[in-house]
Amino acid sequence: MSQTIELERKTTATAVNQLDQLKRFTRIVADTGDFSAIKQFAPEDATTNPTLILKAAQMAEYAYVVDKAIADGKKSGLTGKALVQDIFNRLLVAFGLEILKIVPGRVSTETAAEKSFDVQGIIEEARNFIALYQKNGIGRERILIKIASTWEGTRAAEVLQKEGINCNMTLLFSLPQAVACAEAKARLISPFVGRILDWYKKSTGKDYSATEDPGVQSVKEIYDYYKKFGYNTEVMGASFRNVGEILELAGCDLLTISPNLMAELSKNTAPVERKLIPEQAKASNIQRLELNEARFRFLLNDNAMATEKTAEGIRLFAADAVKLQTYLVDRLK
Domain boundary assignment for the chain: 28-332
Alpha-carbon distance values, 170 to 20, 78, 164, 191, 260 (Å): 26, 31, 19, 7, 21
Q: Identify the three-state secondary structure at position 50.
A: helix
Q: Evaluate the CA torsion angle 22, 255, 104, 54 in order and state its sign.
A: negative
Confidence class for position 319, pLDDT limits 50, 70, 90: very high
How would you write 128-191 as a 3-class SS string? HHHHHHHHCCCCHHHEEEEEECCHHHHHHHHHHHHCCCCEEEEEECCHHHHHHHHHCCCCEEEE
d(CA 233, CA 154): 13
Question: What is the SS3 assignment for 276?
Answer: coil
**174 burial level (CB within 10 Å; 0-12, 13-18, 19+):** buried
Per-residue pLDDT, 14: 56
What is the pLDDT, as a whole number, of residue 333? 84
**pLDDT score of 7 more than 60:** no
146 is catalytic: yes
For residue range 169-227, what is the model confidence (pLDDT) as tens digits?
Answer: 999 999 999 999 999 999 999 999 999 999 999 999 999 999 999 999 999 999 999 99
CA angle 318, 161, 196 (to 5 degrees): 45
- Which pLDDT belongs to residue 124? 98
Give the single-character DSSP code of 238. B
Output the pLDDT for position 176.
98
Dihedral (Cα; 156, 162, 163, 165), 10-degree rounding:
60
Query: Which residues contact residue 80 at a Cβ distance below 8 angstroms, ignoring those fewer than 6 apart?
Result: none
Structure confidence at residue 1 (pLDDT): 41
Q: Based on the number of CB atoms within 10 Å of its own CB, is 240 exposed (0-12), middle (13-18) or buried (19 or more)?
A: buried
Cβ atoms 267, 21 nearer than 8 A: no
Rounded Cα gap, residues 196 and 91, in angstroms: 30
Q: Among residues 206, 174, 123, 216, which one has the least CA distance to residue 308?
A: 174
266-298: per-residue pLDDT in tens?
999 999 999 999 999 999 999 999 999 999 999
At 96-148, the pLDDT tens digits run 999 999 999 999 999 999 999 999 999 999 999 999 999 999 999 999 999 99
pLDDT over 70 at 305, yes or no: yes
Assigned fold of 28-332 = TIM Barrel (3.20.20)
Q: Which of 146, 220, 227, 275 is catalytic?
A: 146
Helices (H), the chain: 2-14, 18-22, 35-41, 50-57, 63-74, 80-100, 119-135, 151-162, 175-183, 193-204, 214-228, 243-248, 259-266, 278-282, 293-302, 304-332
Confidence band (pLDDT; 50, 70, 90) for 322?
very high
What's this model's pTM, rounded to 2 decimal places?
0.93
- What is the arithmetic mean of pLDDT over 39-59? 94
